[in-house]
A = this chain, B = another copy of it.
Amino acid sequence: MKLDVLFSPVQADELFFTGKTTIVIDVLRASSTIITALTNGAKEVVPVGTIEFAVKVSGGIFGGQTLLGGERNTKKIEGFALGNSPTEYSREIVSGKSIVFYSTNGSRAIVKAKYSANLFVCSFNNLSAIAKHLTQLNEDVIILCSGNNNFFSLEDSVCAGMLISELINVNKNAGLTDSSKCALTLFKSFGKNILKLLSETDHGELLITNGFESDLEACAKLNSTEVIPHYSANVLKVLK
């Protein structure tokens, strides 16, 4: 088992992911929000790469039972029912619904990795469930941090490092690349208090400034669910 980390989707093209096992992380907030939506009974989440495509898809095959959700640069998009706060995706609102979802970093990262053989979405919320499943799969893993507008994101990298830490606890001989060693080191330095970490990162500070401080608490909840979003045929559903 070899563990590799990309700190931004811009580091690879779509074909790089062909046949690979890929874990997409966007702690603040897309992966936390998607995991919350599926945990609260959403039928599926449809990640899209552009806002235009979100609008197009939502009016088509998913009409009637569809909600548009997401954000652009932390703000809710005009005409969208939901933003990108995990707390908006309550059972009352999302149960049974298809969510067409766009976000600046996370949904685009998922779409970029669409040719993966296995594609799952991870945050602190479902980290141990992901680690357990990857241990069973026993394949090489690419951990794709969604980053922040092509730049490095500390919270995604620490989450990647925590995942690596759980994986190598079981598989002592897992191979680590430069980037996975980096993520593991960051987890050891910053992983003790996740809420504090989130509040001190570039993106966390921006979210606090824009009034989303309570989202940080939701995103910091470690292993609050066993749900693993699994991407197949262009949609994310709960892995059975």
Interface residues of A (CB under 8 A from B): 5-8, 10-12, 148, 150-154, 157, 177-179, 181-182, 185-186, 188-190, 201-203
Contact = CB atoms under 8 A, between A and B. Distances in A.
Copies of this chain present in the complex amount to 2
Contacts of A201: 178
A214 B136 CA distance: 42
B148 A178 contact: yes
Given A178-B201, A178-B202, A201-B178, A11 B185 contact: no
A232 to B, nearest CB: 27
Contact of A150 (B11, B153, B190, B202): B11
| Residue among A5, A177, A201 with max Cβ neighbours from chain B (10 Å) | A177
Nearest to A154: B178
Nearest to A179: B152
A181 B153 CA distance: 10
A11 B178 contact: no
A177 B148 CA distance: 12
A203 B181 CA distance: 14
B152 A12 contact: no
